[in-house]
Amino acid sequence: MASQPLGVLVMAYGTPKNLDEVEAYYTHIRHGHAPTPELLTELKGRYEAIGGVSPLNEMTQAQGDGLQQILNQDGGRPCKVYLGMKHTHPFIAETVAAMADDHVEEAVSLVLAPHYSEMSVGSYQSAALDAAKQTGSPALLPVLSWHLHPGFLAVLSQRVQEALLKFENPNDVMVIFSAHSLPERILEQSDPYPTQLHETGDAIAQRLGLNRHMFSWQSAGRTKEKWLGPDILTTLKDLAAKGQKQVLVCPAGFVSDHLEVLYDLDIEAKRLADQLGITFERTRSLNADPLFLAALADVVRQRERLGTNRGEV
């Protein structure tokens, strides 16, 4: 296999390409159950508030293109990057089938999410493995998590450091590391997701010598079950009640600008912070930053070297 090009299956959430695709997209997220007219109107309103479309698909493509370029310039085995989406075309199974048609024999499968949960990264990897079993190829080398990769921590630390300079008194800023909430039942399964998220935030705080930092959740789903908290909006209210006047949010669980960043933080959380008298800033998203993509390329090469030994990078 080593003589053949290495495939790299990059997986992401996906987003509708326009407002007409929102209903089908939302229905897919809801496992085939169409949203109520009220929920659909609300979601469309959020997309309209950020310009009508999320940049996620475009940014994921840029990340994949940049990653392929770096991998094919590092002197290692030639690579071809393929993109597979969870909720929009090309779906993960479609992309794995395309890889098989291209006679890709071996591929690293990487989710554009640094922290592992069975419900998130685990579901992507399972979809890819199931598809590969159906097609008979490629042999997949799954990356489970990369939340403490030095390159990832370095670029996030840079983002925090530059954002702190926007404040009048950087030493008084509360830095909040955030990530997408998941149903609270993952705690009963000893899921590593919350622990890994705290490890990322703590590692950055230690690198930068932050005076104050904490963790909060965001973007919980609209379901009847309880989701991990406290939510970022609740956290802002609690901080305001304690007299906190400056807040910097670092959405460490996300690697791209998309709805949960551009609306949930930049619009919704910022609006509440303004009402509470809090100066609010957010770190820039990683997007297609060459330093971030170099870190991802190293993650891919590390997993390639591990071979069939399944494990964390």
Cα angle 267, 269, 275; round to 5: 100
Q: What is the pLDDT of residue 313?
A: 44
Q: What is the pLDDT of residue 3?
A: 65
The arrangement of secondary structure in 6-146+288-306, i.e. its CATH architecture, is 3-Layer(aba) Sandwich (3.40)
Query: What are the residue boundaries of the structural domains of the chain, listed by start?
Result: 6-146+288-306, 150-282
pLDDT digits (tens, 9 = 90+) for 66-125: 999 999 999 999 999 999 999 999 999 999 999 999 999 999 999 999 999 999 999 999
pLDDT digits (tens, 9 = 90+) for 20-46: 999 999 999 999 999 999 999 999 999
**8 neighbors 108 (Cβ within 8 angstroms):** yes
**8 neighbors 80 (Cβ within 8 angstroms):** yes
Fold type of domain 150-282: Rossmann fold (3.40.50)
Please state the rounded mean pLDDT for residues 209-223. Answer: 95
pLDDT digits (tens, 9 = 90+) for 266-301: 999 999 999 999 999 999 999 999 999 999 999 999
pLDDT digits (tens, 9 = 90+) for 142-159: 999 999 999 999 999 999
Q: What is the pLDDT of residue 309?
A: 61
Looking at every residue in the chain, the average pLDDT score rounds to 96
Cα angle 13, 305, 110; round to 5: 0
Please state the rounded mean pLDDT for residues 198-204. Answer: 98
| Partner residues linked to 75 by β-bridges | none
The CA distance from 90 to 75, in Å, is 30
Q: What is the pLDDT of residue 312?
A: 46
Q: Is the pLDDT of residue 177 over 70?
A: yes
Two domains, one topology: 6-146+288-306 and 150-282: yes
The CA distance from 114 to 283, in Å, is 17
Tokens of 230: 């406290």
* Percent of the chain surpassing pLDDT 90: 95
pTM for the whole structure: 0.95
Residue among 65, 53, 113 at smallest CA distance from 252:
113
